[in-house]
């Protein structure tokens, strides 16, 4: 049985906090591979700052040369919003003997009960949460507690929202994103 990490999201844009969280999950959970799964359209956002093709391209650049990390385009061609439970369900059916861990940051964990079929996700998968500074936790039903684990360590309070805000003001985001991603954003004039 192999163990895989599923790290979905908008990645609008991908930033160093995403990579640090994925690396911690891979190391602590002894995952064979972490799959970064960009959403075609997030159910929580009416609009993404840039189209999915740019978000996927930036993610590909960020993952280049990083062993154990892969870009998965599973949700990019899906019509309508990208729902994690649907993709995980397809993966379970396709790779029945493998174990999938859902990797999320504490910001996503605080909204987890708003996710479509969140109980189904917990029934079949362990959710690995990276805590940002100031995270207080949220309550989940008692029967769900064993399916959630908190990764060791503190994760940087970097957010894609902050990066977009800085870019809009013409400020540097060099220390917040991988160099190849910053260069891609500059070349294409994204987030202005």
The Cα 143–Cα 118 span in angstroms is: 13
Residue 141 has pLDDT above 70, yes or no: no
Q: For residues 15 and 112, is the Cβ–Cβ distance under 8 A?
A: no
For the chain, give the number of residues.
192
What are the chain's domains?
3-158 (3.40.50.620)
The reported pTM is: 0.93
Query: How confident is the model at residue 137, as a pLDDT?
Result: 72
Instruction: Please write the tens of the pLDDT for every residue from 34-59.
Output: 999 999 988 887 678 899 999 999 99
Beta bridge partners, 36, equal 7, 71
The Cα 81–Cα 143 span in angstroms is: 28
């Amino acid at each position: 049985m192999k163990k895989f990490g599923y790290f979905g999201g908008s990645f609008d844009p991908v930033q160093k906090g995403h990579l640090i969280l994925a690396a911690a999950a891979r190391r602590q959970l002894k995952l064979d591979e972490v799959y970064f799964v960009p959403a075609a359209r997030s159910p929580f956002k009416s609009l993404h700052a840039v189209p999915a093709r740019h978000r996927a391209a930036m993610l590909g650049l960020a993952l280049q040369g990083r062993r154990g990390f892969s870009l998965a385009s599973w949700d990019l061609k899906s019509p309508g919003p990208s729902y994690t439970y649907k993709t995980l369900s397809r993966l379970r059916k396709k790779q029945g003997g493998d174990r999938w861990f859902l990797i999320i940051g504490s910001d996503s964990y605080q909204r987890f009960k708003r996710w479509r079929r969140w109980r189904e996700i917990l029934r079949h998968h362990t959710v690995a949460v990276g805590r940002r500074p100031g995270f207080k936790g949220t309550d989940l039903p008692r029967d769900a507690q064993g399916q959630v684990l908190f990764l060791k360590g503190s994760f940087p309070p970097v957010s894609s929202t902050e990066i977009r805000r800085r870019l809009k003001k013409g400020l540097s985001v060099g220390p917040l994103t991988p160099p190849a991603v910053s260069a891609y954003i500059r070349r294409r004039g994204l987030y202005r």
